[in-house]
Amino acid sequence: FILIFGFAVGAGFFLTPSLNKLTEVKRKSEVKINEQIIIAEAVSDPKDRERGLSGRDSIGLNEGMLFIFPEPGRYGFWMKDMNFPIDIIWINGSRVVGVAENLAPEPGKNEAELQIYYPPEAVNKVLEVKAGRAALMRTNAGDDVKIRPLIPGLNRL
């Protein structure tokens, strides 16, 4: 019994990091705009959408966060607790409908003072990327967007 218990505990130590990595990958999607690929963490839970990228130190040039909404709307975004500037790419269906570039953090402001950014029209997805990345991708309203999960069947879009 002790041998089996020891094996189970030991296996747990080795498997837990692998399971955490799998959970991270399950939430990732490939977002392709103008033949440029962003690996984005896809979030659809209201709490995850509210938290967004806040509190993180940075994101990589080819990384982002993809916010997924159940229906199109004019959802507002702010820079609460952000530590780095971002670009926001507003998406409806499979088309870019607008881009907001180089949005800077607003340290020292309380929630009531933070600027809120809105899409030019209703959207059902929003992609946040490192500031300057939208320009590097030559992203404009009307561009096609292709989104696919890194592991098919594990996250819904």
The pTM for the full model equals 0.81
Q: Which pLDDT score is estimated for 16?
A: 46
- Predicted local confidence at residue 11, as pLDDT: 45
- What does the DSSP 8-state code read for residue 104? P
Q: What is d(CA 41, CA 36) in angstroms, rounded to the nearest whole number?
A: 16
The token pair that represents 25 in the structure block: 């990958």
Task: Return the pLDDT at 19.
Answer: 38
**Helix, strand, or coil here: 133?**
helix
Predicted local distance difference test score (pLDDT) of residue 44? 87
**What's the gap between Cα 14 and its chain centre?**
28
Residue ranges for the chain with pLDDT beneath 70: 1-26, 153-157
Question: Which residues partner with 130 through β-bridges?
Answer: 86
**Of 157, 152, 151, 147, nearest to 31 (Cα)?**
147
What does the angle CA 86 – CA 135 – CA 127 come to, to the nearest 5 degrees? 45
Predicted pLDDT at 122: 98
Specify the pLDDT at position 91: 98
Note the pLDDT of residue 21: 41
pLDDT tens-digit readout, 60-83: 999 999 999 999 999 999 998 899
Q: Give the SS3 label for residue 135.
A: helix
Strand partners, 129: 64, 87
DSSP state string for 5-51? HHHHHHHHHHHHHHHHHHHHHHTEEEEEETTEEEEEEEE-SHHHHHH
* pLDDT attached to residue 56: 85
Positions of E strands within 22-156? 28-33, 36-43, 63-73, 86-92, 95-103, 123-130, 145-149
Looking at the DSSP assignment, which residues form a beta bridge with residue 63? Answer: 39
